Amino acid sequence: MTAATETRSAPPVARPPASNVLTGTGALLRFNLRRDRIRIPAWLGVITAIQVAGTSSYPDLYPTQADRQTQATIMADNPAMRAMTGPGYGLDDYTFGAMMTNEYLGIMVVIVALMSVFLMVRHTRTEEETGRAELVRASVVGRYAQLTAAMATVALANVTLGTLIAVGMGGLGIETIDWSGSLMFGAAYASVGLVFAGIAAVVAQLSEYARAASGLAGALIGVAYAVRAVGDTADNGLSWLSPIGWAQASAPYVYDRWWPLGLALVVTGVLVAVAFALSGRRDIAAGLRAGRGGAAAASGLLGTPQGFAWRLQRASVLWWSFAMLLSGLAYGSAVDVMEEYADNEVIQQMVEGLGGATLTESWLSMIIALLAIVCTVFAIIAALRPRREETSGRAEAVLATAVSRTRWVATHVLIALAGGAGLLLVVGLGLGGGAAIASGDGDYVWTVLAAALAYAPALWFTASLAVALFGLAPRAIGLVWVLLGYAVFIVYFGGLLDLPNGLLDLSPYTHIPRMPASDFAALPLIMLTVIASGLLAIGLVGFRRRSIDAV
């Protein structure tokens, strides 16, 4: 006789409830910092290096007070310069410190704002969109722990950046760039970053998708810059509605006013409080703003890989085109004042390697090179969109259909290459049009347009390198950004530092003929295009052979 055995299941283990809404914040903060142990130092290092290196070059660029006052006159008399930089503090006695406040602060804090937005969205909405936040919430974690940890992460990054800027600027030992002004200069950096961290925290509660949250916050950065530009140009006080205007109003090295930065801290506190209140009114992974209802049936184009890729990237293409057109017009409008620098020997040294019959031609060729590098940023981001789809898990679902890997990646790469060339076209029209309007010479439109389009092979090369790294070694994708940063350094300081040709040639942009200052040469453009084609082939073959989601 066999005795029946009784099966007993183990008693369920109850998860201890979180003791308060902030339980686990410290652990999440440490986890965030570990995840971003390369990303955050890279942001801080690049921003600090640009600011400190640029500042260190000014005593050579403007060795006498007369040189600095010439620059002050240009700042005061040219509305386009005020729109690009700021209102112009201390122009009566234009010291090196005043130059930093007027010519660097208003532009550099835009990069700081972008850093804050990307980091905040990464640690909030992206975590919810990918489902990781739900897994974290399943443990002993308070309701507001993730948002608090994200805010602490971004705040720590901004405070560290402000400290690095203050130490770097004060340590240069340049006349009028003292320690008290440097401390305020670093605090102004951090204040803008904190405000936009709060803005990003709020918009992350509104949208269901990280991309939409980043786009909305990025658009608000653009609005803040535009409001500041209009206010400074018209001198109507409108710039006081912009966090960028508050940072500039502190006027480091000139007036050293702390209260505008206090205003930024108050606004940051209000934004953070709003973000917490909104977070408590929604479910995880949901947004307070409902998504638009789609059509009952997708169009035929959306059912194709190329149509779907265009749908994913079209908004980015349009916004980038608008931004590059405005940038081109703004820079082009400044050509009428460039000849006032003709007697500055150091500026001549910086651009003499570009050739050109006039300083205006040399300056235009440098601006075209810089804007071409900015266009390359779009091309890299667009070319690496398959990587984002891969790591999010969406690529696997697409590739489970009849779509081949090669065709799927190639559709995104085509948008990157064609879109990048299209942006160069927009840059050429904007910059050439602005120069033509400012100078009254219509020939600028065609010469600048040709010069901008000549950079297409360099753009294709860099984007193709990103594709090759995506296919062969996804972990090494960051190298393409290093190359791009090096290219910017070469454009700014290559001629000034008289670097050897071996170092200059490491940048693909060095091989492009610097029109209108130099003559056209087809051979380097053909060579870069051929190499780019080879890199594309390597990337496509590499992705076809490796496993999906190789991180």
Of 512, 511, 514, 516, the C-alpha closest to 335 is: 516
How high is the pLDDT of residue 1? 44
pTM of the model: 0.77
Token pair for residue 55?
């500042």
Q: Are 490 and 507 in contact (CB under 8 A)?
A: yes
Q: Which of 95, 218, 115, 227 lies closest to 162 in space, CA to CA?
A: 115
Is residue 405 within 8 A of residue 543, CB to CB? The reply is yes
Place of tokens 């999010």: 392
- What are the CA-CA distances from residue 363 to residues 93, 346, 360, 450, 474 (Å)? 26, 13, 5, 16, 37
Q: Quick check: bond before 260 cis, omega within 30?
A: no
Among 283, 20, 21, 288, which residue's Cα sits nearest to residue 133? Answer: 283
Within a 13 Å sphere around the CA of 339, how many CA atoms are in the beta-carbon half?
4
- Quick one: pLDDT at residue 520? 80
Contact status, residue 248 vs residue 116, Cβ threshold 8 Å: no
CA geometry: angle at 287 spanning 285 and 292, to 5°? Answer: 120
Measured between alpha carbons, how far is 103 from 82 in angstroms, rounded to an integer?
A: 9
What pLDDT is attached to residue 267? 96
Q: For residue 399, count CB atoms less than 10 angstroms from its CB and return exposed for 0-12, middle for 13-18, buried for 19 or more.
A: middle
Q: How would you label 23-60 residue by residue, b for 16+ Cβ within 10 Å and e otherwise? A: bbbeebbeebeeebeeebebbbebbbebbbebbeebee
Q: How many residues make up the chain in this entry?
A: 551
Place of tokens 């950096």: 189
CA dihedral 434, 438, 442, 446 (to 10 degrees): -30
How far is the C-alpha of 427 from the C-alpha of 350, rounded, in Å?
A: 23
CA angle 375, 332, 524 (to 5 degrees): 45
- Nearest-angstrom CA–CA distance, 397 and 549: 12
What gap in Å lies between CA 90 and CA 97, rounded to an integer? 9
Q: What is the mean pLDDT of each run of 10 residues along the chain (551 residues)?
A: 50 53 88 90 90 86 84 72 78 89 88 93 86 79 88 96 95 91 95 95 86 83 84 80 92 92 95 91 69 64 78 84 85 70 56 58 81 90 87 78 86 92 93 85 86 92 92 86 81 64 80 78 90 93 81 45
- What pLDDT score does 233 carry? 75
450 and 425 Cβ atoms separated by less than 8 Å: no
* SS3 label, residue 249: helix
State how far the Cα of 473 lies from the Cα of 484, in Å rounded to an integer.
Answer: 18
User: Can you read off the two tokens belonging to residue 4?
Assistant: 């029946």
| Omega before residue 41 within 30° of 0, cis | no
Which tokens sit at 359?
A: 């300083």
Q: Is 358 left (phi over 0), alpha (psi -120 to 50) or beta?
A: beta
Count of Cβ atoms closer than 10 Å to residue 281 Cβ: 9
